[in-house]
Amino acid sequence: MDAGSRFMVKAFRRYYRERAPPLPHRFGRREFGFMFFDRSYMQRHTSFSRGEDLHSLLVSQAPAHCYHSTAYYQTPGAATMEEKSWMGADLIFDLDADHLHGAEGMEYGEMLEAVKTEMLRLLDDYLFGDLGFSPEDVSIVFSGGRGYHAHVRTPEVLRLGGPERREIVDYITGTGLLADWVFPHSRTVLSKGRYSREYKARGLPPADAGGWRRRMRTAMLSLFEDMEGEGAKELKSRYPSLQGRTDKAVAKMLEELFSSDGGTSAAENIVSSGMMAALSKKSQEMLVEVLEKDIKPTIAGEVDEPVTTDVKRLIRLPGSLHGKTGLMVVPLDYDGLRGFDPLVDAVPDTHGDDSVKVTMRADAEVELLGQRFVLSGDEEVPASLAVHLIGRRFASLASKG
């Protein structure tokens, strides 16, 4: 074990001596897994009947990462999955910075703020909204790294298998959503002067629609506001699905939407009548394509599909430390999440403020505990920052002498 790993073990052991993590719900039915600073493999197939035994392991071995199973087992410590005898599993939603568009260009603090915003949207729009879970049903956890977990353990979800959980993921992400279901074709009569003809047009979801129909109706109304007064070139640059269309075709769609006939535009008529009959077939299809390909991805929820669908997954133990950041895995309620700042609230006070000399692997700017540090070469930093830097491999423990 190198000097940096020994330093991390010492800091983690100090933390676990002073704090015993809260025990997971029905912890005696769960499998536990651990990774260590001096080993390349995971130790798993471990179970505990007493909280004191779990705490004793954390203090004595100071693992870098601690996990518990999302599943409940008859014999959680058995050596094979078959012998464990699966009883059910929590429904887990994992949202990590990897899922966010543009996250690779963000600083760590910005990334964490963006992930929190997405988690709040997942909770408000989907878990508490469309799926109908109450805040009491959902436990929220900061992962200690780059994201958040939401644990649902109501009796109705415990026995769901992988396929059923995948359907929940598909619903949240809008996977497989059919435009013909959201905007169905129906026949209507189009009158012009003395003449009328039967015309097949798409419908708009009604104002009292729920779920994805409501979501897409709202998106269409916002799209009308965004398009009004814009030119074809501007819209083609904004919406990739239009780039294969000619300027003339896009301009025609805009003219059909916003030119007034007797003071009422086609866009207003679509909202009031619930039909797109005032638009040509080509304009209808362009409009629906923008909603389906360009708008839907921006309003869909983000979740890690493998985590939600795996009924035998290991997930981070709340109250433990994350070996790559030194931050706590923090259990939260909904109100606590809103004001939560991981780079302040998840920094253990047990690391202390004693100065530690580190050697930066490269120049870096790092934010922690409300301070911004500009670092290069050898630096004397607070111990809490040293743990963070060494864990993220931004620095190594400086050699003595």
Q: Which residues pair with 65 in a beta bridge?
A: 35
8 Å CB contact between 183 and 204: yes
Token digits of residue 162 = 């992988």
Token digits of residue 221 = 């109304």
| Alpha-carbon torsion angle 267, 272, 274, 278, nearest 10 | -40
- The residue written with tokens 């530690």 in the block is 356
DSSP H helices in 300-372: 305-309, 334-338, 342-345
Distance of CA 251 to the CA centre of its chain: 37
Name 179's Cβ contacts closer than 8 Å, sequence gap at least 6.
288, 291, 292
Name 326's Cβ contacts closer than 8 Å, sequence gap at least 6.
8, 11, 347, 348, 351, 384, 387, 388, 390, 391
Nearest to 67 by CA among 316, 308, 307, 311: 316
Long-range Cβ contact pairs of 120-123 (< 8 A, separation 24 or more): 120/337, 120/338, 121/301, 122/93, 122/95, 122/150, 122/172, 122/301, 122/302, 122/303, 123/150, 123/334, 123/337
Distance CA 127, CA 387 (A): 35
Positions marked catalytic:
94, 96, 304
8 Å CB contact between 93 and 310: no
